[in-house]
Structure formats: C-alpha cells, structure tokens
Structure 1
Amino acid sequence: MAPLPRVGDELQQAAEHGRVCALAAYGQRDLQRCLTAHPDLFAEGPFDGALTSSIALAIAFSAPWCEAVELRLTNRAVLWGFALDWQVDRLATSAVELDRLVQRQLSVTDGASAATDDPLGRFLAGLHADLVAVPAFATLGGAWRAAARRTLHAMRQEWQWKTAMRDGLQPPPTLADYLNNADNLACTVVNVVHWIRTGGADTQARLDRLVIASDAVQRALRLVNDLSTHERDLRWGDLNAIMLVDDRAVVEQVLKRLVTDVTDLLDELRADCPREAAYLTRQLGYTTGFYRSTDFWGVS
C-alpha cells in the first residue's frame, strides 16, 4: 500500500485545486452572462449551467497559470464553437441554409457587422471586437481568421457527408478523410484565440509550430470524443469515426498511435514553448479524463 501524502503536501495540493476551480467559477459566471445577453442564441436545449461549468473547468485546468481575466476570451471562443456546432448539426435543414450560415460567420471574421437576424454572428462579432483590442491581434489576426475558416468549412463538410450518407447518395468518408477534417471539433481555433490573448513575443514567433501541434492534439481529441459519444451520435444521426470502420478497436488503435505521435511532438515543442506545450498536454489529458465519465452536451 502506497504511503499517504504528508498533511502539508495534501493541503498545498488541495489549495491549488481550489485556486483552479476559482478560475473556472469566474469563467462560468462570465459565460452565464453571455447566455443571458444572447437569449435568441442560447434560448434552450443544451446551453445550461452544466455546459458553461464544463467549458470553464476545461480551460482553467488546461491553463492554471493564467489569471481569470486572461481566460475570458478562450472560454467565449469555446462557447462560440459549441453554438456553431449546434446550429450546423441540429438546426440547419438545407445546404443553402448552411452555406448562408457559413458565409455570414466568415464575413464577421473579416470584420463585417453581423446581420440583425444572425444571433450567432452577433456573438462572434463581440468576440472579434475583443480580439481586435488585443495588441497581438495586429500580427496574429490572420492566423485566427484562417483557423475560423477551417473550422467553418470542416463543419460544413461533415454536414455534407452526413446528409449524403443518410440519403444514400454516397458512401461514408474514410477514417483518414474524417481525421483530416478534424477542424470540425473547433479546438485549434480556440487555441489560437488563447495564444493571441495570453502569449508573448516567443509565442507569436512560433505560432505556426503551435498550430501544427494543436492540429495533432485536435485529431486525437476527435477520436477521444467519438469513442465516448458513439451512442449519442447514433441517436442524433451524427457522424462518428466508429461508423466508418468495421470494428471499434480500429479507432482505439488509431487513437493510441495519434497520442504517441502527439506526445513526441509536444516533447519536442517543450524546449522552445514550455508553457504552450504544457497547455496542449493538459488539454489532451483533461479532455480524455473528462470523456471517460460524461459529455459536454447534456441532452439525450
């Protein structure tokens, strides 16, 4: 039996956990204010206190060295990703409607005003305005726009795959094609927001490498998510990696390989970008642990 930790060590560890949870509490309160301020976007369904708490906890434990105010934009970027995913997967009813949604979001990322009948665009416009106010945005704004564009196109691609499969118009994509479309998880676009807000000059100089590492984490998390949400995706009619192979074990083996590869990549990155590598490492570890027990979406 392993020896129990000393009382002083246990006290210090619990105090650190409490501090991180306080970061999450601050973040959740801000996200709750977002829900209240945008009732036409977050009126019902899964946008509840459990979702905002789960988002804020995930970001706080991924970047526990940050101050609460530094994580506000990261949290809001995650909430935008969830709102976009809900609109694409659950509300869009036609390709024309989806194309219009994507084009509106792209216009806002380029600085256009959101239409009055576009609640998702209005929320993104607020995020964009806050990002523009960050000095690093002048240099890194193009990287955020590129990441947002990839996310929007990836979500549209998944909708097209799902719809074509449902209507019997084409076979499912290969698992490799599906993983190449992992920007539909909206992970890297959030990470770019985080680095714009919290990174220093070294982060800005190495952003291309950070995006490559983030994409690798994103592909692994795509499979972590799918392995945990397969039954829900079947009920909702969503696409899932397990639906693309003959055996769930194939997805598990691919995930194992992806985690090995991304671990090596993050070890290399740690020498030049220790805090950013730690952020990605903790993001991967926290989300993997989270999905072992529950899901961000709280509706059946």
Structure 2
Amino acid sequence: MSATDARSRAGQADVAEQGRICALATRGVRDLQKVTAAHPGLFSADTFDSAMLGSVATAIAFTAPWHSADELRITTRTLLWVFAADWQVDYLAASADDVRALVAECLAVADGADPPAGRHLARLLADIRDELATVPAFDRLRPVWRDELERMFTAVAREWDWKKASGAPGGSLPTLDRYLDNADNLACSFVNVTHWVATGDGNCLRHLDELLTVGREVQRVLRLINDLATHQRDVEWGDLNALMLVSDPVLVRDRLAQLTQRCHGLLDLLAEREPRQADYMRRQLSFTAGFYQVSDFWGTR
C-alpha cells in the first residue's frame, strides 16, 4: 500500500468516526425534542430553535463520543437546562427578587423538594435529579452535585447584579480578574459533575475532586473563547463580556493564551491518572474553539 493510500484510508476512518458521532448527536436532538415538548413554558422563545438543540447535542457527542446515546442523555439534557436557566435569569427576571426566587426553588429541588406548580425551570431540574437518582453513585455524590449547582447560581446572580449596577449612576463593571473568578456562571463545571456522576467509573469518581479543580480552569478558558466570539451579540443583548472590561482586546487574547497553556499542563498531569477524563476536557476545549469560529448556540432573541 502506498503512503497516499494509507493516508486516504486513515482519512476515511476519521470520517466514519465523525459520522458515528453525528449519529449520537442526532439521537440526542430527538431526545431534546421530547424535553422541549414536555416543557413548552420553558422553551417557547425563538432562541430555543432546532439549531440550538442540534448544537447542544453535538457539543456533548463530540466531547464524550465513547459513550452511547443513552449514556449521554442526562448530560445533554443538563446542558439544555443550563441554557434555559441562563435565559430565565438574564432575560426574563425583572428584579433581584425574581432571581432569588428562581435560585431558591432550584436549590430546594436539588435538596429533594417537589418543584412548585408552574415553575418550569425547577420542574425540568427535578426530572434531571430523578434520573440521576437511578445512578448508584448519586446518593454519595449528591452534595457535590448540589454544591456545583449553587456555585453556578451564585455566579449567575452576581453577574446579574453587575449588569444592573453598571447601568446605574456611579456603577462600574468588574475587573477582568474578578470576571474570570466568576466563570462558574458558564455552568460548565455543573454540566461536568452531572456527566461524571452519571457516567463515571470507579477511577473517575475517585479523582472527582481533581477533575473538578482542573475543570474549573478549563471553564475559565471556555469563558474567554465564548466572549471573544460573541462580543457583538453580547453588546446587542446587554450581556457582560470580557472585551467590555479592558482597554485593548489584545489583553483578553493574551490572557486566553496564558490560561490555555496552563490548562494543557494540568491536563497532561491529569492524564497520568485519569486519561479518559483528561481527553474529555481537551475535547471540550477543541470543540468549543472550533464551533465558535463559525456559529453560536443561541438563536434569534
């Protein structure tokens, strides 16, 4: 076989694998369609279009392609729930009291309460919680899952306060460092812990603390990748963005390069103990960087 033939066959194998991953995503989209149909009060906005469902399912499929569609169901649903939570806080909450009420309802659900009638975000979270409860590890790791949910909501509420304060007389925006310290608002860490609890083997769960620590560093990189790609949309929608906090965009790009280099060093060390989950987070970084070169998750506002 010539070198050209060998490269061609290797390339075709890559395409076949990408086709299989796309099929996983297709299965994921069909499941998300069931979710949105069951929760019309949560997904009625034009932003939650079919392309968003496809993007959510594709992101999870490409990040953890060694799993089956059934194994990825909870993770994929959780990522969609995160987008719904973001929409509820950033665009539907009219006051700080609205934000506090939504957070309190969801944390109560995480603690085992039934969702209040007509509170769609809490109801979908209860569905995810109940499916996670069928996983043997959930009883032991439920406090970790609940803590990540609270960290996410604390960061989301803090950004809501920043946005409101910045528009008031004498208000100001956070520094870039403080903004990055609030990267839990991206909710990547919450999705990750849900994924690891739902699918992780004994080795993965033994290293969960380290996975969460490294994952939080990855989350900071993803925050900047997102911001560099979506600055114009954030300006139009009234969102915060790292580029709004600095005098020169080069400062954000330089910080991204530094954080990315640090992440890959941490992932190299993690791979010695947990190679699959190190690969999972590397794929998270690569997929996000590639995806945002062309598109965005959100549909029309």
Normalised by the size of structure 2, how large is the TM-score?
0.97
> What is the CA–CA distance in structure 1 between the aligned matches of 2:175 and 2:103, rounded to whole Å?
24
- Partners of 2:264 and 2:251 lie apart in 1 by 20
How many angstroms apart in 2 are the aligned matches of 1:131 and 1:94?
Answer: 32
CA drift at 1:298: 1.7
* Residue 294 of structure 2: aligned partner: 293
Alignment partner of 1:37 is 2:38: yes
- Alpha-carbon distance in structure 2 between the residues aligned to 1:77 and 1:61: 16
Counterpart residue identity of residue 130, structure 1: E
* 2:226 counterpart letter in structure 1: N
- Cα distance in 2 for partners of 1:194, 1:156 equals 24
RMSD of aligned Cα (Å): 1.3
SS of 2:72 mapped into structure 1 = helix
Q: Counterpart amino acid of 1:168?
A: P
Q: Are the aligned partners of 1:140 and 1:204 in contact in 2 as well (CA < 8 Å)?
A: no
The one-letter code matched in structure 2 to 1:137 is F
In structure 1, C-alpha distance between the alignment counterparts of 2:17 and 2:94, rounded to whole Å: 46
Distance 1:292 1:168 in 2: 37
Q: Distance in 2 between matches of 1:224 and 1:169?
A: 30
Q: Which amino acid aligns with 1:64?
A: P
Within 5 Å, give how 1:43-192 maps onto structure 2: 43-192=44-193
Which secondary structure state, in structure 1, belongs to the residue aligned with residue 40 of structure 2?
A: coil
Taking every aligned residue pair, what percent have the same amino acid on both sides?
A: 48
One-letter amino acid of the structure 1 residue matched with residue 99 of structure 2 = L
Q: Does 1:24 align with 2:25?
A: yes
- Write the deviation string for residues 181-230 of structure 1: whole angstroms up to 9, x where unpaired: 00100100000011011111111111000000110010000010010111
Distance 1:290 1:3, change over 3 A: same
Q: Which residue of 2 aligns with 1:215?
A: 216
Task: Tell me the CA shift for residue 5 of structure 1.
Answer: 5.8
Cα contact 1:46–1:297 (8 A) shared by 2: yes
Residue 169 (structure 1) shift: 4.2
Residue 107 of structure 2 aligns with an amino acid whose one-letter code is L
Counterpart secondary structure, 1:135: coil
Distance 1:213 1:72 in 2: 24
Provide the rounded CA distance (Å) in 1 between the counterparts of 2:30 and 2:178.
38
Deviates more, 1:64-73 or 1:40-49: 40-49
Cα deviation code 1:63-93 (max 9, x no counterpart) = 1111111100000110110000001111011
User: How much does 1:140 deviate?
Assistant: 1.3
User: Aligned partners of 2:77 and 2:225: how far apart in 1?
Assistant: 23
State the aligned residue count. 299
- Matched residue type, 2:104: Q
Aligned residue in 1 for 2:249 = 248
Structure 2 counterpart of 1:236, which letter? W
Structure 1 residues 219 and 4, CA, compared in 2 at 3 Å: closer, same or farther? Answer: farther
Shift of 1:9: 2.1
Per-residue deviation, 1:4: 7.6
CA 1:202–1:39: 2 relative to 1, 3 Å: same
Cα 1:202–1:227 change in 2 (3 A) is: same
Partner of 1:167: helix, strand, or coil?
coil
Q: Could you say what secondary structure the match of 1:47 adopts? A: coil
CA distance in 2, matches of 1:298, 1:48: 6
What pairs up with 1:210-289 in 2 under 5 angstroms? 210-289=211-290
- Residue 12 of structure 2: aligned partner: 11
- Contact kept in structure 2, 1:226 and 1:242, CA below 8 Å: yes
Structure 1: distance between partners of 2:91 and 2:238: 10
